[in-house]
Structure 1
């Protein structure tokens, strides 16, 4: 008898004006879900930076012996800006979630129960849009659902949120190293981010790690140059990691 799998998906970085949006996916046999709970997995927002990193390391250590899997899909600010000029952020997230599932399908595409943290006010619409993009769906003996706050309800979705958050935090650290100063969290409400935006919004083009289409960036550009900001080109940058 084939084992049943639980797959969870969540994102980190929808709201910031700087850095990537990251979608995480985790897949574990349903009989192993209790191990996530025992390890302290929960919504990434309820965990310290140290604990999140420890859980990612712990999860990776289980992968060989237990066949656990994860996917990380990193969406660049450039792709975010392109999406905002077309179908919007909700459709972009649909695409990103579907890309994770299509990556997973290279290893696992049957006996799967999928739960996503809904990024749409209408969870069923979010589900329907994703499955319309999944290769060879419906998978055998498989189902998918989306609910709001799934990361605080389901430990596999919670683990996915941890992967997404840790990955985004690491990339924000890389951006800080690249520019030579801390960029904060990247959220417009973060005073540390607000303080450095003027150093990244510079002529002739804003920094590549900024989301040019965000009101925060547009306003900062107008404040400095008194002209509308440039429109980003539409070439897309996609980076996925599958394990």
Structure 2
């Protein structure tokens, strides 16, 4: 699988796709949707679709596709080759969502959570297939969130297409299994071949599965935490795992809340706010030695003083 377009700039999301089989432009088709890498703290999340004519479902099943989570890496690679070789009637497309996109979306002022990001990725891929001329009649989806609500959303967005949303759809429908394999193979390749934009020297690539509970992943996160600059963009810094490590191991930084004025912020940090200068008494502003501090020459040269009444 060629991930060149994504590897050229892995800070942003990227669309990859196979050629569209001619038969998919003339015959009624089914399409499956699944994702890989929703939970890890490292690397991208990949949404995948796979499609073929309804009349070719048995031929797709004969390729022995299965839920990618039940397969070894070697089996997934082999099955992806089989799918790629069946390009006369099978097509696929991927949305590779960078860890940087995931984190900035989740932490921006107008929150864009992972479910919304996932739904939009799935919708975008279905629309891509339609725009490419695929004659979609059936769509099968592994659920994200409540299945019925998600199914209603997709049915309204794509009227005329029969939508089926089911938990564990990747183990129920071969076309979803095929999408699962495409997504997982792409994520595996992206993680293994990750190009670090940061100057980290020789990077230890033994970062485990990328899941927060993996000891190798935890160790890697500790080793590559810069106390000032945080993590490389390979890390989803919006994940609680990363945030906890940053809070306990990085230099503390305080960002004033919009509702918190400078005086309160300074008091909370046992510090002096610039605004406190303007709250000094008139005697202090006039350079009264009893204040223990002279007024700034900007005020004395201009003979300015605070007044309490007009």
- TM bucket normalised to smaller: 0.7 to 0.9
Are positions 1:72 and 2:94 aligned together? yes
Deviations 1:108-127 (A, max 9, x none): 3534200110011x112112
Report the 3-state secondary structure (helix = DSSP H, G, I; strand = E; otherwise coil) of the residue aligned with 2:86.
helix
Are the equivalent residues in 2 in contact too, given 1:11–1:24 (CA < 8 A)?
yes
**Contact 2:196-2:234 at 8 Å conserved across structures:** no
Aligned to 2:131: 106
Residue 33 of structure 2 is aligned to residue 14 of structure 1: no
Alpha carbons of structure 1 residues 81 and 52: separation in structure 2 relative to 1, 3 Å: same
TM-score, structure 1 normalization: 0.83
Aligned equivalent of 2:174: 155
CA contact (8 A) 2:33 2:122 kept: yes
Residue from 141, 148, 154 that aligns with 1:116: 141
Shift of 1:194: 1.3
1:204 corresponds, among 229, 249, 262, to 229
Question: Which 5+ residue runs of structure 2 have no aligned equivalent?
Answer: 1-25, 256-310
> Is this contact kept in 2: 1:221–1:229, CA < 8 A?
no
RMSD: 2.1
Cα offsets for 1:63-119 (capped at 9, x unmatched): 1x22x2101110111221133231311111001101111111122353420011001
1:40-55 alignment, distance < 5 Å: 40-55=64-79
Q: How do residues 1-243 of structure 1 correspond to structure 2 at under 5 angstroms?
A: 3-63=27-87, 65-66=88-89, 68-85=90-107, 86-120=111-145, 122-131=146-155, 134=157, 137-139=158-160, 142-175=161-194, 180-182=203-205, 183-202=207-226, 203-225=228-250, 227=252
How has the CA–CA distance of structure 1 residues 4 and 84 changed in structure 2, closer, same or farther, with 3 Å as cutoff? same
Which whole-Å CA distance do the structure 2 matches of 1:118 and 1:101 have between them? 15
**TM-score (normalised: structure 2):** 0.66
Greater relative contact order (Cα < 8 A, sep 6+): 1
Number of residues of Structure 1 aligned to a counterpart in Structure 2: 221
Maintained 8 Å contact 1:98/1:131: no
